[in-house]
A and B are shown apart, each in its own frame.
Chain A
Amino acid sequence: MIEELAELVGHHPLFDGLPADVAALVAGCARNAAFGPGELVLAEGGVADAFYLLRRGRVTLEVHAPGRGPLVIETLGPGSVLGMSWLFPPYRWSFDARTLEPVGAISVDAACLRDKAEADPAFGYELMKRLGAVLLGRLEATRIRLLDLYGHDRPD
């Protein structure tokens, strides 16, 4: 079971190229998870006690605005990491996350993985480098979207 999970973990882009024993370390905190369409996976303000390595299906990150309903901030697809607030106190979700379709994922217990990262600084640093790259990619994408690139053309 752990071996199967370790293989799935090692195939996810977040842990691509991770040595098998390190993937097994992560898999020790992981389990398979499945969600139906329209399910709320994360709720804003809720305890960030796990994160998800998406394998199938798409999930929207949303924020609820009074009078406007749920506003979609971003859509995450297969290969994405769902949930970052488990990394930093106070470990509360910043946004809602809802499935758009059936979703298959690996759920990783946050406290379990944080403990392993604290206990093994080399592993912890590797983990932070990989998660940092994901965060940097999202920050850059958000900045580019702020430019409203498609809304402006060269005037003739």
Chain B
Amino acid sequence: MIAPTEDAGRAVADGAATGTGAFTPAPYRVVERRVETDGVVSVALVPDSGEPVAWRPGQFNMLTVFGVGEVAISMSGVPGEGRLWHTVRDVGAVSHALCGTGVGDVVGVRGAYGTAWGVEELDGVDVVVVAGGIGLAPLRGAISLLARRPSGRGRLCVALGARSPDQVIFAEDLEIWRELGAEVELTVDAAAPGWTGSVGLVTAVLPQLSFDAGRAVALVCGPEIMMRIVARALVDRGVAADAIRVSLERNMQCGVGLCGHCQLGPLLICRDGPVRAYGEIAHLLGERER
């Protein structure tokens, strides 16, 4: 059995200030802005001084729009790019302001925080990635790294669910991942006439993916209801519950495990998550949020 990501439960995030100054954002500048879909924007940030902090796929930053507020956003790029990509859906005051930033604007960054997908542990392992909607953003870096594993180092299967074809983010990446040998299945909730892809819940495409369930690791990110259903379907398929890694979302405010807003049972998701093994948190997923 594959152990849960080794840093699950790690209290101190990579590159993150946790002592004095933990709440002081560093100024980063927007160097590129890309509209992914209606209401979803990706921004690339570089620090005004020095190199961006080290980070691993699955982690998040606290982004500040000065004068508006701060919000937790996962990195959606690939480590080593020299810039930090974040993909944001416009759903509130801060995310609206982030989506409205332009090249040259300054954004505050604290991080990187939280646990990662643990891609470096997955050499030689079949990996099945299941993402729903904007849940693909925190997985993009992991998929990109996994797709570039040397041939014969494990299969990569990707199942994506989206609201409709025009709401699929990173559409160009899907083709790149396919060309690199990944099996990629996309399904949408609803489609206009002429759509030749699949329509249905993301669990419906899981049987079409060819991975060795008994030795596979699954990375799952999306709405929590979707993650519960997907995790149960994967367990039914034979994937060990502890080999299913999910990315939890709660009301993260401080990012360093001090304020308690993101508490889920005994966990503080900003510190002990967001990536956790399904086997250890399944019993918590039904808990009502504080």
| New A-B contacts (12) at CB < 8 Å, excluding given A72-B193, A150-B223 | A13-B207, A72-B191, A74-B200, A75-B199, A78-B208, A79-B208, A141-B201, A144-B201, A144-B225, A144-B229, A145-B201, A148-B189
Tell me the chain A residues, 43-98 only, with Cβ under 8 Å from chain B: 58, 60, 68-75, 77-79
User: Does A149 belong to the interface (CB within 8 Å)?
Assistant: yes
Q: When A and B form their complex, what is the total count of cross-chain residue pairs whose Cβ atoms lie within 8 Å? A: 81
B193 touches A77 (CB 8 A): no
Set of chain B residues within 8 Å of A140, measured between Cβ atoms = 229
Give the A interface residue count (CB, 8 A): 29
Please choose the segment from B87-95, B149-157, B276-284 that sits at the chain A interface, where 4 or more of its residues have CB less than 8 A away.
Answer: B87-95
A75 touches B200 (CB 8 A): yes
Binding site for B on A (CB under 8 A): 13, 58, 60, 68-75, 77-79, 100, 140-141, 144-145, 147-156
User: With A60-B199, A145-B201, A149-B132 given, is the CB distance from A71 to B91 under 8 Å?
Assistant: no
Most A CB contacts (10 A, CB to CB) among B193, B205, B207 go to: B193
User: Does B133 belong to the interface (CB within 8 Å)?
Assistant: yes
A71 touches B225 (CB 8 A): no
Give which listed residue, B134, B191, B199, B207, contacts A79 with CB less than 8 A. B207
Give the B interface residue count (CB, 8 A): 39
Set of chain B residues within 8 Å of A147, measured between Cβ atoms = 225
Instruction: Give the distance to chain A from B61, nearest Cβ to Cβ, in Å.
Output: 14
A71 touches B200 (CB 8 A): no
Set of chain B residues within 8 Å of A154, measured between Cβ atoms = 91, 249, 251
Set of chain B residues within 8 Å of A69, measured between Cβ atoms = 193
User: Does B163 belong to the interface (CB within 8 Å)?
Assistant: yes
A73 touches B198 (CB 8 A): no
Set of chain B residues within 8 Å of A100, measured between Cβ atoms = 196
Give which listed residue, B189, B197, B200, B205, contacts A150 with CB less than 8 A. B189
| CB nearest neighbor in B for A142 | B201
Set of chain B residues within 8 Å of A148, measured between Cβ atoms = 163, 189
Tell me the chain B residues, 51-109 only, with Cβ under 8 Å from chain A: 69, 71, 89, 91-95
A149 CA / B221 CA spacing, docked (Å): 13
Chain B 101-136, CB-CB to A under 8 Å as 1, else 0, gives 000000000000000000000000000000011100
A149 CA / B224 CA spacing, docked (Å): 9
Instruction: Give the distance to chain A from B230, nearest Cβ to Cβ, in Å.
Output: 11
Set of chain A residues within 8 Å of B222, measured between Cβ atoms = 149-150
